[in-house]
Structure 1
Amino acid sequence: MNDTEVDYQNNYIRLNRKELINIMNESMSSSRYQHVLRVEQTALKLADKYDIDKEKVSIAALAHDYAKERPDAEMRDLIISENLELDMLQFGNNIWHGPLGAMLMKNEFELEDEEVLEAIKVHTIGGPMMGRIAQVIYIADYIEPKRSQKGVEKARELADLDLEKAVTYITGQTLKYLVKNKKKIYPKAVETYNTWVAKN
């Protein structure tokens, strides 16, 4: 994949792309960092195809896993101290790292754009009213080139045709996986499913 570099010009964040990349590189393992770069490039291809703000997409993609590798104890403390939804405490890092990542990016780097913050916040569980930036990150995280889960090829095909159809398919696949593997399902993931998949 040829790298696309976006020149940050709109002051969504007080960092340029290189500075943001360096922060992510220092904040996570090498394998997680490489995943983040692949998600950004995948998301930028979708942004180009669907005429979506590439700068916002780049920031959201690079920052989407900012909190992913924080220690659980630190994340629990932040959920409590920042008055986030306490029902998250019944779940794990997969649920926590999106909302916490959005909060940390806002607090530490003055990221104020609501579309970008939403995309970081909901990239794992989606949301009933996802905007287009959020849809792109949700999809790109699922279909980036190293992903090999069941259904990913179909998701890639749909992403190339219609963002909303891809979101619907990915949401259905995710819920199927959780049910099949008897995993606890976060209520907001059910809301996403009810809005995007169960339309009858």
Structure 2
Amino acid sequence: MLDLSQLTEKLSQNLSAKRFHHSLGVSETASDLAARYGADIDKAKLAGLLHDCGRAIPSNNLLPTAAAFGIVVSDVEHCQPVLLHAPLGACMAQTEYGITDQQILKAIALHTTGGPNLSKLEKIIYLADFIEPGRSFPGVDKLRRLAAADLDAAMIAAYDESVTYMLEQGMLIHPASIGGRNFLLLQRQKTQCK
């Protein structure tokens, strides 16, 4: 595997300047969240750096590339192929960047939709993508404050933000996002019922 500086250099050549800058921001944010919540900082930094490496694939090639990698494409992903950049990114992180750590690869694969029962690292990458310093949208500061205080509360708020945006845009909502939100809410309710 390449070292971090080599991975960073290779990524800078494969992504647009804007996407590369975003990836650096996600890497730093993920590192900070990992330190705060006791996750592996090196894994968070690496997963954050490479989370969008699948964005190097042109939009019109996402479906054929997914087929080439043997990725099963859901109806939602077929209609909104941009969602495939996450699982494709995990494949590319492995084949083109030499990443073999399954925790890192899974965090990359789930960073767009989330899902139920995410690991701490997966939550960190999902949130870091939402709140890195280059992000600017109504509510991002609230998400940043929540992420500094309560990882699961921040995840629920991020899911809410994402679902609200998709509803406003008339987009399909990936079932993994609904499943992830419901999982966290059920966990909270179970804790409150004890």
Same topology, TM > 0.5: yes
Q: Please name the residue that 1:34 is paired with.
A: 21
Match of residue 73 from structure 2: 86
Kindly provide the amino acid, as one letter, of the partner of residue 49 in structure 2: L
* Long gaps (5+) in structure 2: 190-194
Cα deviation for residue 83 of structure 1 reads: 1.9
- TM-score w.r.t. length of structure 1: 0.87
Q: 2:101 aligns with which of 103, 110, 113?
A: 113
Over the matched positions of the two proteins, sequence identity in percent amounts to 30
Match status 1:99 vs 2:87: yes
2:192 alignment partner in structure 1: none
Please name the residue that 1:186 is paired with. 174
Which protein has the bigger helix share? 2
Specify the alignment match of 1:7 in structure 2: none
What do the CA deviations read for 1:56-102 (whole angstroms, capped 9, x no partner)?
Answer: 01110110000113112332112112221222222221x11100000
Taking the TM superposition and a 5 Å limit, the aligned residue runs for 1:11-50 are: 14-50=1-37
Separation of aligned partners in 2, 1:110 and 1:35? 21
Match of 1:155 in 2: 143
The code of the aligned residue for 2:184 comes to W
Gaps of 5+ in 1: 1-13
Does the residue aligned with 1:67 lie in a helix, a strand or coil? helix
Q: How far does the alpha carbon of each residue in 1:95-120 deviate from its partner, in whole angstroms, 9 at most, with x for none?
A: 11100000111122332212101110
Aligned partners of 1:91 and 1:186 also within 8 Å? no
Q: Is the 8 A contact 2:116 2:184 kept in 1?
A: yes
* Whole-angstrom distance in 2 between the partners of 1:186 and 1:167: 16
Deviation above 3 Å: which 4+ runs of structure 1? 197-200
Q: Is the 8 A contact 1:39 1:137 kept in 2?
A: yes
Query: Displacement, 1:196?
Result: 2.5
Alpha-carbon distance in 1 for matches of 2:150, 2:47:
20
Structure 2 match to 1:6: none
Q: Is the 8 A contact 1:172 1:197 kept in 2?
A: no
State the shift of 1:197 in Å.
Answer: 4.0
Equivalent residues, number? 186
Task: Look up the match of 1:66.
Answer: 53
User: Is the partner of 1:86 in helix, strand or coil?
Assistant: coil
Aligned residue number for residue 195 of structure 1: 183
Q: Secondary structure, in 3 states, of the residue corresponding to 2:54?
A: coil
Is the 2:166–2:173 contact (alpha carbons within 8 Å) kept by the matching residues of 1?
yes
Whole-angstrom CA distance in 1 between matches of 2:185 and 2:50: 27
Distance 1:37 1:96 in 2: 21
What is the TM-score with the length of structure 2 in the denominator? 0.90
Q: Which amino acid aligns with 2:80?
A: F
Whole-angstrom distance in 1 between the partners of 2:140 and 2:65: 33
